[in-house]
Amino acid sequence: MYSKVIFFVLILVSCTSIKSTAQVDMTASISDKAKAVNDQVVEWRRHFHEYPELSNREFKTAEKIAEELRKLGLPTDTGIAHTGVIAVLDSGKPGPTIGLRADIDGLPVKERTPIPFASKETSTYLGEDVGVMHACGHDTHIAMLLGTAKILTEMKSQLKGKVVFVFQPAEEGAPAGEEGGAKLMVKEGIIEKYGIEVFFGQHISSGAPAGSITYKLGGIMAASDSFVIKVKGKQTHGSRPWAGVDPVTAAAQIVQGLNNIVSRQTNLTKEAAVISVGKIKGGFRSNIIPEEVELIGTIRTLDVGMQKIIHEKIKTTAEAIAISSGAEAEVTINIGYPVTYNDLDLTRKMVPTLMKAAGEDNVKIIPAVTGAEDFSFFAEKVPGLYFFTGGMDPTGEVPAYPHHTPDFYIDESGMVTGVKAMTLLTLDYMGMN
């Protein structure tokens, strides 16, 4: 009996050892494949960087993406949510259907980086002529997902299930009066049409070293809502303010009151929150107190309950302060992107995969980010995992300029890690399911 027990233990140890060796071999193989495709990934990235397009206007971008996907032999659909592109890799074998997402739009920013492939593109935004730049790294997202598609297509015989490559437009927000982005893709039914069961997405980070990955369980990026407050008074001559009702002073007090909502009325030990006024508009002359002043701003929250309370407090605060000045406040809150939420079970399962992609020492948990992402609409419908891939110059010679700025810079060496991560997440999730 004792000898039989020893025999079965040896068999178990042997099988575990074989499985562990196979996992190491797979990781090494994917690493080699990511390095092999890297020159092409860099070439794609530079093309998209040089020729960016604004949200819902990514016509040439979509055309190039579709062309590259069809070269891989993938059935490809275009015109989704205006300019989105989706391709499907079907292994022909039973298994899960995994969505991999990249956003594709640029920003109304005039580039001033000294790179040879800097954008010289221009367009019209809100009626003004503007420069256009991939100032948030979406060009790298496109290139990394195309690289992932190339590797997985070559490995088709080893896959089980389907991979849906989603190239999403208008992440930065659709133009005024238009729908767009992930919200429109969900509305058009892509999750049901393609049978997507889980979504993975990544964002390059200019502030994290190339080769690193950062993530967070639960809410990783904030809900983003906007507000408009119209403060209505009574116009009068600037020399006789008592003859009217001054909406300018009321508006100034409202700005201070909004700041007090976060600093004095919100439990910041639970989650972070931000209220910022970005624009104040009113009046025409120095000697006329205007009839109306308009405040425009943003709200960032990481908890749905806090989001609701803050919305209510903005309305109460603005109205009460206006009344105390004899004015009237009209508050409009526009709901934007939800919290980008990493499914707890999915994230815990896939963290070891992220460590395989970047190395255990290069994967870190980070605090929540008060920026927002419309990947959140996908993650509301199916379990999602969203993470950041480092894109900062590892030598420190190039400053880590912030996203959405003219000097924004990404070190291209970080893209290999992004390709490895998306490829391994797909393979490991298939293996688990």
Which run of H or of E encompasses 153?
A: helix 138-154
Identify the burial level of 226 via C-beta atoms within 10 angstroms of its C-beta, where 0-12 means exposed, 13-18 middle and 19 or more buried. middle
- What are the E-state strand segments in 211-346? 213-215, 218-221, 223-232, 236-237, 273-281, 288-289, 292-301, 328-337, 340-342
Q: Give yes or no for a contact between 45 and 143, defined as CB atoms under 8 angstroms apart.
A: yes
DSSP codes joined into one string, 25-48 = HHHHHHHHHHHHHHHHHHHHHHHH
Give me the residues paired with residue 369 across strands. 221
Q: In whole angstroms, give the CA distance from residue 83 to residue 181.
A: 9
- Nearest 10 degrees: CA dihedral of 213, 223, 101, 19? 50
- Asked about 105 being catalytic, the answer comes back as yes
What burial letters (b/e) apply to 179-190, b meaning 16+ CB within 10 Å?
ebbbbbbbeeeb
Catalytic residue among 103, 171, 343, 374: 171
Q: Is the four-CA dihedral 204, 206, 209, 214 of positive or negative sign?
A: negative
* The one catalytic residue among 103, 105, 111, 412: 105
Q: Which two tokens stand for residue 7?
A: 């025999």
Terminal C-alpha separation, the chain: 36
Instruction: Tell me which residues are annotated as active site.
Output: 105, 171
